[in-house]
A and B are shown apart, each in its own frame.
Chain A
């Protein structure tokens, strides 16, 4: 039941926040915070219950399960389940949700209640995506995740918000359509083979199908997740959407929603279609590496600081794509670690950028310079997260990137070498960001306040998490390991030199 409560609390909280707006506006922010705090506490409880040793776990890798029949004639169930991977993603999402609410405290002034409603419902959809194990339910939550986000961008975004929101919606809906077709295709193929209609994940695992059919179905799923992640060449919605969205929405988009793409790849694409995924892996890994390098180069070229951070996201998540399709324990652990690290690091960078925008009312780096003198705390925090972004050892991103490289090296040396070049390109954009914004000569005289207590609390918390994960990542890695080991069982039938751990 805890899984249902995780989602329900957010849904109810969202409605309450909206209603609170009619009574006393500042209250809706506090309602939001309270909702997320309660939910985060539930999530952390779930984490402590997660097994860290597969051999000792009673339920295998599963922490909690909920299975109710919904539309029996089609075999659709309301099936939620959580293993270590899901729990980690849930905790990440909720923590970033809190950060997003804190960052939007003063930024959103109109229709505040509706804003928090959309934010919380979007988060609820995201949680549902991480917890759903019935394909119909999964798609249902996928849509719930997207619609409030569209509103968040379209109503509270900057001057290009309509273009960005529509683009975002078209990309994700369009690819979602292909995923829906693939889901239905899979269900029909399964029906042909077994005579049973079911949308249940566990029953669909191991369905026999012709290789060509499997490849097409896999591509349908892959397309949806590749757009969400995003992977080259489906990434072009991201800079516009991330830049136009308000800070809170961007933090959620970058930190949590992008991970649904990676999660989908790990949970659905490879286990459901192991041979097809194996054949497709070189292409996917090459796309990942291309994303790392191309994203970094584009980030370097931007004059809008939020767009720079958005492109850097593409670069970081390229590592995740590389790790997932290398599909060995090292690479997958690296991918999970990178997902979490990127969530916090990119989220924090967007908060910093948003704070600067709130004060300067511009994102054009050509008008900044020497902001360190005016806002030393902002400068220090910005520098810290820029360094985390470029993969400095001792911080969380390095652990993820290095593990991915280590795992991918066993599969393809050349691609890994190219991915390693990403270390240099990341340095280029991270340092140019710091240089243009905080160092150098001031291009305009800005009299602006430094980061306040609220922001510093959030930032220090995230800094602590990033450092902790950088020097002692084992709690996260152990939790993920059980889940990943549980995942690998359906794929173990694929024997090839590329899949040894």
Chain B
């Protein structure tokens, strides 16, 4: 039954095709059934295949299905083929399941939008591309899915196309991720040229055989793959597109910019982990990028006013954790956090969608308030999601996944105290900004009236994701809580385990410190934002306080930097050269030619004496030449 794997990406693709070709002519309920139903069916098939895979795994815990040969040129023969192993099963289940919940939510959230059919067409195309990405058995097909999700991100961020700001945000997203894609493309060229294949499993084998650890080719390839991952996952230095991408509808932010597309980079690195194992420099770079990003984004999240932008920076920060985990060799921990993050971040976005919907499209948290009482259907999910994000000890799934990473940052053979320190500070900041958001938006007095309340189709996904955000941690219980690392064991067939060096007593100390960070952040947020908000207001009134606030809110001035150094010069040069300087050579030729023509025709004056003179001069010249030469 594994041979039905091709149905999983195909069903949403069929949904896309149906919705595109019947543009606007289907009635809304039909669109909802096609749009959400195709993903639902895909989820069902995925569940069935996944269950079978877990219960009756095939030989070698892997299954490959080649549907057709895509290109066949001179030995280059990438296929359209799907590869199923434990990692792929997990990714597939996350994408389809969370995707279906978000589609269900959208059927109500987008119900009044005139582009209803178009929305679901794009969302279905996205899910199809994302599934192609995670199920691809070769890097070229993965790249097809990779670009496909980038395309859908562009289409959906710019969904409300009448506002040019949305178009700009969409284009920024596409262009910045494409910069990463250039690196990835060159990486693919390098890998194919030196190893002769792009099929992932043979490629990894050949790399391990032919390239010694630390070889320059492996390092170059790994850095290029990292470049691609950094773009798609919005990490330093290509993270500037994600906050602006919040211009899209909230379900889009939930699906694409929290749960799935931005995690594609993490997935890619996990898939090519052999390459990174061969290139310790690159792996260190992954960890460094992750650590730096999680700190930077944490500071930025602390200063945002827009509810979705806080969550966007939070996403960037959490993916930084995943990169950190990958960088220290904790592959399974990264994927675990990927899954848990998908749950709670989608939950947070969907809950914020409820808030935005209810307050008639209000995004500014300082204009909210008191929603704890007014909108409990948003408050409880948001609280549970926020707790998971802050890794509140024991009762949230985030605790299990994030603390695993923080622990491994210290104890892994590739870890270091610096990385641990960054992770710890990041955890403190996470709690701080998360509960800042919760306290400001949900506590205090209500500043805007609630106009709409969510219906069943919006609540079911919220409830489901809330439950998962609490109990999801059960899949990976640490040593002092029963020692049941089910998740890591499950992925053991695909990803190597982390080399841990710490003794168990250090482990306990570290766990305690993590708990302190998490709870301490919450308490600090309570003090600063609920109890004594005057402290911060005084701080913000200072000139350097305000400047710092602006600096952090502006993404550490990176956006400004890129604009000044790259974007504006390009625009300027393009505009200045609009009529093409090279053409001036040819226009110059034409001008010279016309000048000569003008000059020569001026000698035909029609005056007789002039002709006589020129005749005399000419004959003198000819005579002198013939006499003297």
Contacts and interface: CB of A to CB of B under 8 A. Distances in A.
The answer to A–B direct touch (Cβ < 8 A) is yes
Interface in A393-429: 393-394, 399, 402-403, 405-406, 409-410, 416-417, 420-421, 423-424, 427-428
Contacts of A372: 161
Say whether chain B's binding surface is mostly helix, strand, loop, or mixed: helix
B624 interface: no
A403 B147 CA distance: 17
A387 B175 CA distance: 13
Contact of B161 (A432, A439, A477, A501): A439
A472 B68 contact: yes
A421 to B, nearest CB: 6
Contact of A236 (B68, B71, B167, B580): B580
A377 to B, nearest CB: 8
A478 B192 CA distance: 21
Interface residues on B, range: 35 or more
B113 interface: no
A92 to B, nearest CB: 19
B586 interface: yes
B178 interface: yes
A218 to B, nearest CB: 23
A449 interface: no
Given A236-B583, A420-B185, A409 B190 contact: yes
B570 interface: yes
Interface string B9-37: 00000000000100110000000000000
B69 A440 contact: no
B4 interface: no
B528 interface: no
Interface stretch (A68-76, A97-105, A130-138, A294-302): A294-302
B182 A239 contact: no
B162 A441 contact: yes
Contacts of A328: 74
B189 interface: yes
A405 B185 contact: yes
Nearest to A403: B73
The interface centre, meaning the residue of A370, A394, A441 with most chain B CB atoms within 10 A of its CB, is A394
A471 interface: yes
A141 B548 CA distance: 71
A232 to B, nearest CB: 7
A380 B71 CA distance: 28
Nearest to A330: B74
A330 B76 contact: yes
Interface string A290-320: 0000000110111000000000000000000
Interface stretch (B284-292, B310-318, B340-348, B571-579): B571-579
A345 interface: no
A432 B168 CA distance: 9
A477 B186 contact: no
A236 B582 contact: yes
A440 B161 contact: yes
Interface residues of A, number: 57
B276 to A, nearest CB: 22
A440 B164 contact: yes
A405 B189 contact: yes
A420 B182 contact: yes
A389 B48 CA distance: 39
Contacts of A392: 147-148, 151
Contacts of A366: none
A333 B193 contact: no
Contacts, number: 134
B72 interface: yes
Nearest to B69: A474
A435 interface: yes
A366 to B, nearest CB: 13
Nearest to B177: A427
B499 to A, nearest CB: 35
B143 interface: yes
Contacts of A387: 151
B299 to A, nearest CB: 29
Contact of B162 (A302, A403, A440): A440
Given A235-B582, A333-B74, A435-B171, A420 B577 contact: no
B169 to A, nearest CB: 11
The interface centre, meaning the residue of B24, B154, B171, B570 with most chain A CB atoms within 10 A of its CB, is B171
B71 A474 contact: yes
A490 interface: no
B182 A423 contact: yes
A432 B582 CA distance: 24
Contacts of A424: 175, 178-179, 182
B441 interface: no
B248 to A, nearest CB: 14
B158 interface: yes
B580 A298 contact: yes
A428 B171 CA distance: 8
Nearest to A438: B161
B151 A471 contact: no
A387 B570 CA distance: 22
A452 interface: no
Contact of B578 (A232, A301, A439): A301
A473 interface: yes
A431 B161 CA distance: 13
B125 to A, nearest CB: 11
A376 interface: yes
A233 interface: yes
A481 interface: yes
Contacts of B573: 297
B232 to A, nearest CB: 14
B582 A232 contact: yes
A441 B164 contact: yes
A370 B186 contact: no
B574 A298 contact: yes
Nearest to A393: B144
A167 B167 CA distance: 38
A424 B186 CA distance: 13
B185 A435 contact: no
A417 B182 CA distance: 8
Contacts of A402: 140, 185
The interface centre, meaning the residue of A232, A302, A423, A477 with most chain B CB atoms within 10 A of its CB, is A423
Given A394-B144, A420-B182, A431-B174, A333 B73 contact: yes
Contact of B71 (A297, A370, A473, A501): A473
A329 interface: yes
B70 interface: yes
A330 B68 CA distance: 20
B625 interface: no
Given A416-B186, A431-B171, A474-B72, A423 B178 contact: yes
B476 interface: no
A410 B193 contact: yes
Contacts of A393: 140, 143-144, 147-148
B585 interface: yes
A330 B162 contact: no
Given A297-B577, A301-B574, 14 more contacts: A301-B577, A302-B578, A330-B73, A403-B73, A405-B185, A410-B193, A431-B154, A439-B164, A440-B162, A440-B163, A440-B164, A471-B70, A477-B72, A481-B73
The 4 closest A-B pairs by CB, nearest first: A301-B574, A236-B583, A393-B144, A439-B161
17 contacts: A233-B585, A236-B580, A236-B582, A236-B583, A236-B585, A298-B577, A380-B20, A393-B148, A402-B185, A417-B186, A420-B189, A431-B175, A432-B171, A439-B162, A472-B68, A472-B70, A474-B72
Interface of A: 167, 171, 232-233, 235-237, 239, 297-298, 300-302, 328-330, 333-334, 370, 372-373, 376, 380, 387, 392-394, 399, 402-403, 405-406, 409-410, 416-417, 420-421, 423-424, 427-428, 431-432, 435, 438-441, 471-474, 477-478, 481, 501
Interface of B: 20, 23-24, 68-74, 76, 80, 140, 143-144, 147-148, 151, 154, 158, 161-164, 167-168, 170-171, 174-175, 178-179, 181-182, 185-186, 189-190, 192-193, 570, 573-575, 577-578, 580, 582-583, 585-586
